[in-house]
Structure 1
Amino acid sequence: MKNIINFSIIAHINHGKSTLADRIIEITKELKINSLKNQSLDTMELERERGITIKSQCATLKYKINEKEYILNLIDTPGHTDFGYEVSRALAACECAILLIDVNQGIEAQTISNYKKAINEKISIIIALNKIDIAKVDIKKQKQNIINLLKIEEDDIIEISAKTGTGVKKLIEKLITYAYSTKENNEEKLQALIIDSWFNNYSGITCLIKIKNGKIKKDEKIITLSNLASYKITELGIFTPEKENKNELIAGEIGFVNINCKNPNNIIIGDTITSAINPSEIKLKKINKIHSRVYASIYPTESEDLENLKTSLSKLALNDSSLEYEIQKSSIFGIGFKCGFLGLLHLEIIQERLEREYELKIIITPPNVTYKITLKNNSEKYINNPSDMPDNNFIKDIYEPIALTTIITPLQYTKKVLELCKENRCEKINTTYLTDTVSIECELPLSEIIFIFFSKLQTLTNGFSSMDYTEIIYKKSDLVKINILLNDKKIDILEFITHKTTSLTVGKNLIEKLSKTIPKHLFDIKIQAAIDKKIIARTTIKGLKKNVIAKCYGGDISRKKKLIEKQKLGKKRMKKFGNIEIPQNAFFAMLDISKK
């Protein structure tokens, strides 16, 4: 049995995970420090542009201590809360995690969240205090903060600089001695966990797997235990981080297998692979599927692209199992797809991938959350599209999703942040004071988070605050649906749900924003906001003017009157039957509706 250690690097966003991954690769390959291109494991163009990790990536490395060789399977993970599911999947395949903390920023919201995930997986954790080469704070003081908050020993913390390589070798050696020993067995029946998967037009589906027990060989027939579907292994190997083909993978290893399957719906992340000839009937511990928090509809701008959009979404969902989609019909845009996302950044990334990788022109509607409705017959209904909300006569109670939220902010901003929390209907606010920062835990409506709460928080604290939210619970709330009418026609994709106390202000502000984003037409456009049948706000976009009598040089005045009347009748017909163009930025305007 080889000495195999599987580990992940976890941290808050921008604490240096990808840079540390680069240094570990350089040291294990005995390369010159900083010889690799930056973010060597970030293979997606969007990752490099944004400077963030979106997808977890794996690299198999070798390292010798005292003439004994170890195989290190490194999994770099995202730091943004929207991609927390990637962290959970990575940790499910590991025996150890390096929790990286920027010495200047200290513990932030996602630091705590990732630490709890590692604790739940019952794996060993090493704390690496990063960026000591540019430390602007007292390092000893920062270490004490970490010890107090995470309840750990000082020996669990290693000071490093991922940029210069200082302390990274010591970190690798501590990892080897600190990690729990693997308990995999080559002689057992094959059991492999699907960690990730992706699609290639030529070779079909490739799965990233961890071999828990047994071996897997090229040309072997395997089955997936969720659906008992059978496949043949056409190619397998590891990433170093370059792709390297092998003839077999053994227990403890993380590698890839190509199964020559062209149907993305057949593969499930967290499924167990076993041998078709000598199968194991025991499924490995399942990776819990995370449910979408935010929903929006995606429509192709050209109806002939509908099938291309469906195929593209299925391929993205194969590589991103947190993406959900189902067919939906709109009275304005026709047939499209209602999609579920983990947050606004996740939505934005999917939009950019559809436009770049699949060259699709799409329209995305404003995001919504899932509400629970109790009807008067005591039945329950969950809706994530305001147009699905029943008539008020049938509704008994409405419940909205509440996120258990953690905010970490410098002490000097505490009062302002607490005021912002109260403005956005926060409840059960608990504060924990650290040396230079304060941790605020509260219950915050998810609808407030997905709109502009975080951007307001960053503006208020000059970018020095961080926020994370985890479990979602439902609480009874006084909510109403606002309908938007254009020339007296209800527009289903512009409907939204808001709290009754702010509905009047929100309705007025939205009408004002729509009047600035919808372009002028040849006819007047009346915009109204209504709750039930009551109009709460209205405005009019005046139509473009055309001088129909410009060519009448003199002549009888009655001829000019006839032309003007004819123009009025034409505009009246256009107003009744004409199509109103609703641009994408009209939907974006709905994301920034101030309540004041």
Structure 2
Amino acid sequence: MNIRNFSIIAHVDHGKSTLADRFLEITGTVAKDKMHPQLLDSLALEQERGITIKLAPVRLNYILHSTLYILNLIDTPGHVDFSYEVSRALAAVEGAILLVDATQGIQAQTLAHGLAALEQNLTLIPVINKVDLPNADVELAKKQFIETFGFSENEIILASGKTGIGVDEILKAIIEKIPAPKQDQDMEKPLKALIFDSFYDAFKGVVAQVRVGEGKTPPINSKLYFLQTKAEGHVLETGYFAPQLTQNEGLQSGEIGYIATGVKVPDLVKVGDTISTSLATEPLPGYREVKPMVFVGLYPIDNDEYFELKEALAKFKLTDPAFSFIPEHSDALGAGFRCGFLGLLHAEVVQERLLGEFNVDLLATAPSVEYLLGGVPITSPAQLQGEHIKDLKEPWVNLKIFVPQTYIGPVMELVQDKRGKFLDMQHFGIAVEMSYEMPLSEMVTNFYDSLKSVSSGFASLDWEFLDFREVDAVRVDILVGGEKVDALSTIVFKPKAEGFGRRMVEKLKEVLPRQNFAIAVQAAIGGTIIARETISPFRKDVLMHGSKVVGGGDY
């Protein structure tokens, strides 16, 4: 079989999904009357926001020089929080289209994902997209490709996903440049299939999306083993994506498709695990366990919905391996869950999907990061006791910011204010890539919005976890009417604690409703009050006529 497995990698909003739409149209995979924009973005939230959250694989049939080729495409998300999806896509393919927007040039994630692909020895096809736009700067984008990745000018394909310019040339390059998968001729070997995604079906159980490395899928109802979790399942159905699920007679070495496993417990099927027909088989080199970096408390608005929320989170975890949750209790909000996410957009997307797909109304606490106290992970400020915290360590990240040279000063000022340590600066034409080390806690509080603001929207960033380092931090508690509200407690870098406390009480004074009596809103570290505001009571406005009261009201 003439198979090519490839992926599209690029920065957010550089036209990946639109290019994938043209592939579906040109190869006849989807009839013209059934086409709609961003077809592979199956979540309503993706279409609404115009970003790809869940990667959607699809099989394309394309004829070149009278030979039929099967092209397996994995469209990937480009936002920094969803890089784990990209890493999964890269492990399942032999090549990738490296897409750059002609109006923006190379951005932070073009660089990060492109280098990650090269590390995995993937064949890259450079494509400059959106060349039809009036403000396209094709020459600059070409120059960046040549200087950054070492491509020659004749390798670079000019295209437009919207109009279809250059799309046939891209399909031809995929067939000619990307190597076919190594297909093991010995089909008697035990099956080895790498899980790069999964979803839950009420009838078929967990449906694993796989890349077959060795052997072939056994007959229907045969036993399957998951080599990492040692769980067992059965083959209920196999097939491929067109882009809807299309059943077939089985998958073999080199192919991408799905296996319905019949497993009803979502946690037993982990992304990166290997499915096999024998427990004695060596697992395929997989992925590391995805580690949540940002934690938010999620509570049902109605406490009677606690168990519905628990069930929704368990089902949701299957479709999103980077999401984690454990039960927690708050005096102010009742029973809820401490949930772990990859970043703030990830947290926001999960909350919106829980509301849209599972109809669960939620209250969310302020985001925090994982600290280490004496080697023990701390994910909630409530777990810290006492005023002086010793041996506390916070997570640091390696931060890369891609920005036009004119904004270097404001960006440096912003990162230094967030305790960032400057490492290096590399020039790429009129843009620079600035490398920093920075505490993750500073990044989860309004950093992305501030960065966009000081760079007029031009800056893009990429980051990865570095290590844990000692920090002089305190827990700032918020008291309303003398009562501590545990859901508002926050761990703060000590020199910034007073300013943080003052901003919190000022904000609460604005948003909390007035009562018939005065309410004190205080920020405290241990027993010391560091900031206070008073919400003034309603006052009686009384109208007197001589000695008689003739009217009045609250204001």
Give the TM-score normalised by structure 2. Answer: 0.93
Superposition pairs of residues 26-45 of structure 1, within 5 angstroms: 26-29=25-28, 36-45=35-44
| Native 8 Å contact 2:519 2:536 kept in 1 | yes
Q: Which amino acid aligns with 1:256?
A: Y
| Native 8 Å contact 1:508 1:537 kept in 2 | yes
Q: Which amino acid aligns with 1:100?
A: L
* Cα shift at 1:554: 7.6
| Native 8 Å contact 2:29 2:242 kept in 1 | no
Q: 1:389 aligns with which of 367, 384, 393?
A: 384
Q: Which amino acid aligns with 2:89?
A: A
Partner of 2:552: none
The secondary structure found in structure 1 opposite 2:496 is: helix
Q: Which amino acid aligns with 2:439?
A: P
Q: Does 1:206 align with 2:207?
A: yes
Q: Does 1:269 align with 2:263?
A: no
Partner of 1:241: 243
Partner of 1:444: 438
| Native 8 Å contact 2:481 2:519 kept in 1 | yes
Partner of 2:297: 297
**Using a 3 Å threshold, how does the CA distance of structure 1 residues 18 and 489 change in structure 2: closer, same or farther?**
same
Partner of 1:332: 332
Q: Measure the CA separation in 2 of the matches of 1:545 and 1:309.
A: 42
Partner of 1:433: 427
| Native 8 Å contact 2:227 2:273 kept in 1 | yes
1:273-307: per-residue Cα shift (whole Å, max 9, x none)? 112xx565211111222211100111112222111
| Native 8 Å contact 1:26 1:35 kept in 2 | no
Q: Measure the CA separation in 2 of the matches of 1:532 and 1:184.
A: 64
Q: 1:380 aligns with which of 375, 380, 383?
A: 375
Partner of 1:486: 480
Q: Measure the CA separation in 2 of the matches of 1:342 and 1:30.
A: 34
Q: Which amino acid aligns with 1:53?
A: T
Partner of 2:114: 115
1:111-140: per-residue Cα shift (whole Å, max 9, x none)? 111112212322211111111111535423
> Which sits farther off after the overlay, 38-47 or 203-212?
203-212
Partner of 1:145: 144
1:42-86: per-residue Cα shift (whole Å, max 9, x none)? 111001000010001000111122222211110001010111111
Q: Which amino acid aligns with 1:479?
A: A
**Using a 3 Å threshold, how does the CA distance of structure 1 residues 167 and 35 change in structure 2: closer, same or farther?**
farther
| Native 8 Å contact 1:23 1:33 kept in 2 | no
Q: Give the % identical residues.
A: 37
Superposition pairs of residues 151-300 of structure 1, within 5 angstroms: 151-185=150-184, 186-216=187-217, 217-275=219-277, 281-300=281-300
Give the TM-score normalised by structure 1. Answer: 0.87
Q: Measure the CA separation in 2 of the matches of 1:90 and 1:138.
A: 29
| Native 8 Å contact 1:11 1:100 kept in 2 | yes
Structure 2 gaps, min length 5: 550-555
**Using a 3 Å threshold, how does the CA distance of structure 1 residues 197 and 447 change in structure 2: closer, same or farther?**
same
Superposition pairs of residues 12-91 of structure 1, within 5 angstroms: 12-29=11-28, 36-91=35-90
Superposition pairs of residues 516-555 of structure 1, within 5 angstroms: 516-544=510-538
Q: Measure the CA separation in 2 of the matches of 1:535 and 1:227.
A: 50
> Which sits farther off after the overlay, 107-116 or 218-227?
218-227
* Cα shift at 1:385: 1.1
> Which sits farther off after the overlay, 199-208 or 11-20?
199-208
The secondary structure found in structure 2 opposite 1:144 is: helix
| Native 8 Å contact 2:398 2:465 kept in 1 | yes
* Cα shift at 1:155: 4.1
Q: Which amino acid aligns with 2:454?
A: L
Q: Measure the CA separation in 1 of the matches of 2:255 and 2:141.
A: 36
Q: Does 1:408 align with 2:402?
A: yes
Q: Measure the CA separation in 1 of the matches of 2:442 and 2:94.
A: 37
Q: Measure the CA separation in 2 of the matches of 1:362 and 1:137.
A: 43
| Native 8 Å contact 1:274 1:280 kept in 2 | no
Q: Measure the CA separation in 2 of the matches of 1:482 and 1:9.
A: 45
* Cα shift at 1:502: 2.1
Partner of 1:582: none
The secondary structure found in structure 1 opposite 2:164 is: coil
1:409-451: per-residue Cα shift (whole Å, max 9, x none)? 1122122222222222211242222221121111122122111
**Using a 3 Å threshold, how does the CA distance of structure 1 residues 179 and 204 change in structure 2: closer, same or farther?**
same
**Using a 3 Å threshold, how does the CA distance of structure 1 residues 279 and 446 change in structure 2: closer, same or farther?**
closer
Q: Does 1:4 align with 2:3?
A: yes
| Native 8 Å contact 1:194 1:210 kept in 2 | yes
1:525-558: per-residue Cα shift (whole Å, max 9, x none)? 22110122211111122345689999xx989xxx
The secondary structure found in structure 2 opposite 1:357 is: helix
Q: Say what the alpha-carbon RMSD is for the aligned residues.
A: 2.3
Q: Measure the CA separation in 2 of the matches of 1:145 and 1:336.
A: 49
**Using a 3 Å threshold, how does the CA distance of structure 1 residues 84 and 405 change in structure 2: closer, same or farther?**
same
| Native 8 Å contact 1:63 1:70 kept in 2 | yes
**Using a 3 Å threshold, how does the CA distance of structure 1 residues 396 and 68 change in structure 2: closer, same or farther?**
same
Structure 1 gaps, min length 5: 374-378, 556-596
Q: Which amino acid aligns with 1:389?
A: L
Q: Does 1:470 align with 2:464?
A: yes
Q: Which amino acid aligns with 1:344?
A: L
**Using a 3 Å threshold, how does the CA distance of structure 1 residues 31 and 357 change in structure 2: closer, same or farther?**
closer
* Cα shift at 1:266: 1.9
